[in-house]
Amino acid sequence: MHKLTHRDGDDLKALYWRQFNRALADRDYAALKEIFNQFLNEFSYVGIENFNEAAFRDVIKAFLVLMGGNAYSEYPTAAGRSDLCLSTDRALFVFEFKLTADPAQTSAKLQEAAAQIKSRKYAVRMSGQQVIALAAVIVNEKAKQGAAAPVREMAILEPVS
């Protein structure tokens, strides 16, 4: 089996795992968002043109699992289900994803995700780990007439306190 390597010869999985772990440890959510976007960019725009929120959640979950993470989706709580959880030795990360076709709606969708995390108490968990809630907004915009390409990216990833 061919092993993917970075241009400097490093194992690509190991390289991304180091970057991913560094971003989590440093709570560098901008770097984490860029790592997720690099992974999302590997999918053809044709293949994800009609993705819904659950499909994007599952793509991110697949990335986390492929990287060796302990990730699980649709975790039930007393008041609802959080979209995605990632358990590490340092913390439990609880993600709530919102999807929009309109980049101008990212702030509103971020507020919606944060409100859902708070109202449904997704971060209130019995855990020996620190629980960190993250709201994420994914833009899945079809190419507009005259535009060079569609926009498919995680536009915002922020902690919710």
Model pLDDT, residue 4: 46
User: Rounded to whole angstroms, how far apart are CA atoms 100 and 130?
Assistant: 30
3 domain-assigned: no
More confident residue, 103 or 135: 135
* C-alpha–C-alpha distance, residues 2 and 18, integer Å: 21
**pLDDT single digits (tens) 58-71:** 888 988 888 888 99
For 41-100, how does the pLDDT look when each residue is reduced to its tens digit (9 = 90+)?
Answer: 777 666 666 677 888 888 889 888 888 889 999 887 777 888 999 998 888 899 999 998
97 belongs to a structural domain: yes
The one-letter amino acid at 90: R
Region 12-36: what's the mean pLDDT? 86
Q: Which domain holds residue 78?
A: 12-160
Q: Per the domain annotation, does 5 fall within a domain?
A: no
- If phi > 0 it is left, if psi is from -120 to 50 it is alpha, else beta; for residue 130 that is beta
Residue 1: per-residue pLDDT: 43
- Structural domains in the chain (count): 1
In-domain check, residue 119: yes
CATH of the domain at 86: 3.40.1350
pTM greater than the 0.85 cutoff = no
Q: Which residue has the higher pLDDT, 7 or 155?
A: 155
pLDDT in tens, 129-160: 788 999 999 888 775 555 566 667 888 888 99
139, part of any domain? yes
Say yes or no to pLDDT of 10 above 70: no
Q: Tell me whether residue 122 is in a domain.
A: yes
Q: Residue 70, Cα to own-chain centre: how many angstroms?
A: 14
Residue 79 lies in a domain: yes
